[in-house]
């Protein structure tokens, strides 16, 4: 398993030099978070990830979770690591101080999440799911429920889950069958089977709080008849401590391609006592509140794994001697040159790097807008930020997990055959990264969300929250010859994105299949354009310092590589989109 060092230098660069972190920490409620404080938090998180979580990543993959008689045992060291994680207060860093949280900005939380994912994604699933449950409960729970459950979710004594999927329904939650029958005391009896429940059962916390989608007896058909319930593993006694076991049990765990140390459970609810969260039949709303936060976090999973893979690949490319540079030996005193001299190895490393640093900037841009949407004193600014979050969320989720999978595969390829054996840890990143393209809404569903919901919403208002700053930026910088090598390609990509948008908007209105057939290509085109916009800014603010500081020189070099070698993909995407849905939809169903 490659060593992992948190890329703190680049994280601080993105936060303060690219995204004007001070504008976030000056928002009401964030006054305590000076740059010093945030650097200290990130430094401590780095230490925990490097020293506690990363060392049990590969052993956790080899060992996996064990299931016996309804009990799930996490791999060796996970309980110990979780205790350290909880004792350090990491379960609550992004939570409401009213319930014991530290209330850190989403921007900072996002960087911490990236480190956790780099170090040990399987581990990160446990507090990650708790946070999802926290978000939904915090937004929609009654005061009584919040007082009983939030403090323990925030301090990590208890953990949480989201129970959505059933055997017959994944994406299409309208098909769900789990039933909720009212009891006399205002609670409900929940009965049904949920599958693919991450952290559904484990040995890390004294209680597990399930948020469960189910149907009330009078529920309308489809997604409009879905309600959200809180179902604790152990019912809570009046003194707040765990009491009798509730009617929910883990039936089995899945054997998966990756994230093997994260338990993925079949959960059977048999007249379990549950408590309604929010209004009856409004479960989807609460679910989406949680999902939107989680989708950003899942995008960051792709980024975190890509970073870990990159670090491994670079170390190997420097150390492994094989062949000679095509332009003559670079290390004639050694038996061969290191891999890093070879252009095709450099292509792979630079591709990883350009995707990683671009994705990090994209994630923090999205997170900053989450902070603005929540904290900005001006309602107009809050609304603007919300629009941007709405449109960028599916892009962050799908693009960053797709790029994360590509990047982890490139890292593995740098290792050659040594990347395919488990010992070196590079193939685990690939297996772990693969799930992020699927869960929390498969990437095709994200693409449909972008073209089908976000694009048409409010006559394109969400879209404009992205298009306007990009277009303003191009207009402002276009005349500067020093920036031409960055602004030129950005403008080209942006024009393609606008053309694709017009095409889809016009065609898709009358024939929704046209939007559906274009969706995945469109999301990638959108995402690459967003990265180009961020890379143009990173190049611009790095150029003046590039001569004296290798950090900024590398930024400029990576920006050039992105513009010249990766961004040209956008041409093919526009062309594919512009061909319309005909070839996709005309194919006879029986002929597949």
Residues 159-198 contacting a second copy, CB under 8 A: 165, 168-172, 174-175, 196
Indicate whether 317 belongs to the interface with a second copy (CB under 8 A): yes
Under the binding rule (CB under 8 A), the answer on residue 201 touching a second copy is no
Phi then psi dihedrals of residue 323, to 5 deg: 75, 175
Single out the residue of 283, 419, 425, 527 in contact with a second copy (rule: CB under 8 A): 419
Q: How far is the CB of 65 from a second copy (least distance, A)?
A: 13
Residue of the chain from 53, 136, 176, 350 that contacts a second copy (CB under 8 A): 350
Least Å distance, CB 587 to a second copy, is 5
* Single residue of 341, 363, 366, 367 touching a second copy by CB under 8 A: 341
The pairing of beta strand 234-236 with beta strand 248-253 = unpaired
CB of 486 to a second copy, least distance (A): 12
Q: If DSSP codes are grouped into helix, strand and coil, which group holds residue 76?
A: coil
Tell me: does residue 435 bind a second copy (CB under 8 A): yes
User: Is residue 5 near a second copy by the rule CB under 8 A?
Assistant: no
Is residue 443 at the binding interface for a second copy, with CB under 8 A as the rule?
Answer: yes
Active site residue 440: yes
Give me the catalytic one of 307, 357, 427, 440: 440
Q: Tell me the CB-side half-sphere exposure of residue 478, using CA atoms within 13 A.
A: 10
Q: What is the DSSP letter of 176?
A: -
Q: Coil, helix or strand for 264?
A: strand
User: Do β-strands 71-73 and 158-163 pair in parallel, antiparallel, or remain unpaired?
Assistant: unpaired
Q: Does an H or E element contain 193, and which?
A: strand 188-198
Residue 444 engages a second copy in binding (rule: CB under 8 A)? yes
Residues 247-266 that bind a second copy (CB under 8 A): 254-258, 264
Count of residues making up the chain: 592
CB of 63 to a second copy, least distance (A): 13
**By rule CB under 8 A, what count of residues binds a second copy?**
104
Query: Shortest gap between Cβ of 172 and a second copy (angstroms)?
Result: 4
- Which residues in 552-562 are b (16+ Cβ under 10 Å) and which e? beebbbbbbbb
Q: How far apart (Å, rounded) are the C-alpha atoms in residues 556 and 545?
A: 10
Site for a second copy in 539-578 (CB under 8 A): 550, 553-554, 557-558, 560-561, 564-566, 568-573, 575-576
Handedness of CA 353, 356, 358, 361 (dihedral sign): negative
When the beta carbons of 275 and 439 are compared against a second copy, the nearer one is: 439
Contact 363, 400 (CB under 8 A): yes
- Token look-up 């900024």 returns 552
Query: Could you give the dihedral angle defined by the CA atoms of residues 432, 433, 437 and 440, in that order, rounded to the nearest 10 degrees?
Result: 60
What is the C-alpha to C-alpha distance for residues 516 and 190, in angstroms, rounded to an integer? Answer: 36
The answer to whether residue 456 forms part of the interface with a second copy (CB under 8 A) is: no
The reply on whether position 420 binds a second copy by CB under 8 A is yes
Q: Does 511 bind a second copy (CB under 8 A)?
A: yes
Q: Which is nearer to a second copy, 39 or 254 (CB)?
A: 254
Q: Tokens 């332009």 label which residue? A: 327
- Residue 51 or 549: the one with the smaller Cβ distance to a second copy is 549
Closer residue to a second copy (CB): 94 or 313: 313
Q: Which of 159, 246, 163, 244 is nearest to 206 (CA)?
A: 159
Q: Which stretch binds a second copy (CB under 8 A): 23-31, 146-154, 298-306, 424-432?
A: 424-432
Query: Is 516 an interacting residue with respect to a second copy (CB under 8 A)?
Result: yes
Residue 149, helix vs strand vs coil:
helix
Contact region with a second copy (CB under 8 A), list: 14-22, 203-211, 277-285, 433-441: 433-441
């Amino acid at each position: 398993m490659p060593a992992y060092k948190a890329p703190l230098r680049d994280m601080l660069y993105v936060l303060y030099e690219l995204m004007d972190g001070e504008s976030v920490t000056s928002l009401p409620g964030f006054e305590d978070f000076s740059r010093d404080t945030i650097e200290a938090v990130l430094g401590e998180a780095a230490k925990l990830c490097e020293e506690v979580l990363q060392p049990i990543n590969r052993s956790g993959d080899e060992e996996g979770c064990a299931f016996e008689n309804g009990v799930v045992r996490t791999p060796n060291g996970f309980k110990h690591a979780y205790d350290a994680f909880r004792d350090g207060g990491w379960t609550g860093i992004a939570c409401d101080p009213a319930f014991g949280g530290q209330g850190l900005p989403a921007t900072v939380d996002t960087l911490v999440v990236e480190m956790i994912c780099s170090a040990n994604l399987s581990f990160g699933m446990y507090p990650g799911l708790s946070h999802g449950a926290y978000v939904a409960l915090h937004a929609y729970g009654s005061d009584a429920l919040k007082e009983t459950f939030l403090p323990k979710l925030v301090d990590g004594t208890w953990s949480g889950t989201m129970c959505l999927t059933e055997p017959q329904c994944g994406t299409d939650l309208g098909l769900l069958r789990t039933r909720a029958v009212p009891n006399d005391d205002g609670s409900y009896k929940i009965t049904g089977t949920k599958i693919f429940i991450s952290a559904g059962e484990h040995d890390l916390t004294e209680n597990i709080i399930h948020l469960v989608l189910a149907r009330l007896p009078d529920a309308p058909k489809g997604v409009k008849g879905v309600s959200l319930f809180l179902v604790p593993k152990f019912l809570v006694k009046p003194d707040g401590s765990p009491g009798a076991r509730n009617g929910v049990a883990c039936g089995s765990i899945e054997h998966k391609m990756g994230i093997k140390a994260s338990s993925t459970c079949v959960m059977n609810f048999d007249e379990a006592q549950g408590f309604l969260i929010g209004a009856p039949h409004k479960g989807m709303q609460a679910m989406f509140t949680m999902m939107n936060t989680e989708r950003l976090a899942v995008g960051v999973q792709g980024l975190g794994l890509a970073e870990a893979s990159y670090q491994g690949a670079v170390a190997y490319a420097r150390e492994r001697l094989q062949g000679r540079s095509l332009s003559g030996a670079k290390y004639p005193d050694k038996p061969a040159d290191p891999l890093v001299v070879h252009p095709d190895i450099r292509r792979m490393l630079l591709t990883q790097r350009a995707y990683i640093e671009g994705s990090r900037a994209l994630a923090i841009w999205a997170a900053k807008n989450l902070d603005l949407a929540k904290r900005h004193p001006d309602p107009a600014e809050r609304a603007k930020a919300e629009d941007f979050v709405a449109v960028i969320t599916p892009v962050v989720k799908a693009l960053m997990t797709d790029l994360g999978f590509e990047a982890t595969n490139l890292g593995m390829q740098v290792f050659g055959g040594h990347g395919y054996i488990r010992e070196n840890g590079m193939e685990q990143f690939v297996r772990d990264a693969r799930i992020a393209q699927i869960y929390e809404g498969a990437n095709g569903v994200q693409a449909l969300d972008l073209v089908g919901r976000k694009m048409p919403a409010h006559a394109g208002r969400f879209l404009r929250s992205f298009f306007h700053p990009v277009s303003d930026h191009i207009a402002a910088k276009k005349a500067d010859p020093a920036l031409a090598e960055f602004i030129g390609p950005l403008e080209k990509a942006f024009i393609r994105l606008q053309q694709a948008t017009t095409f889809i908007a016009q065609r898709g209105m009358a024939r929704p299949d046209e939007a559906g057939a274009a969706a995945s290509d469109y999301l990638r085109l959108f995402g690459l354009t967003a990265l180009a916009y961020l890379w143009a800014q990173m190049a611009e603010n790095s150029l003046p310092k590039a001569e004296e500081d290798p950090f900024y020189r590398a930024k400029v070099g990576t920006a050039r590589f992105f513009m010249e070698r990766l961004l040209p993909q956008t041409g093919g995407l526009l062309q594919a989109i512009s061909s319309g849905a005909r070839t996709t939809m005309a194919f006879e169903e029986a002929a597949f």
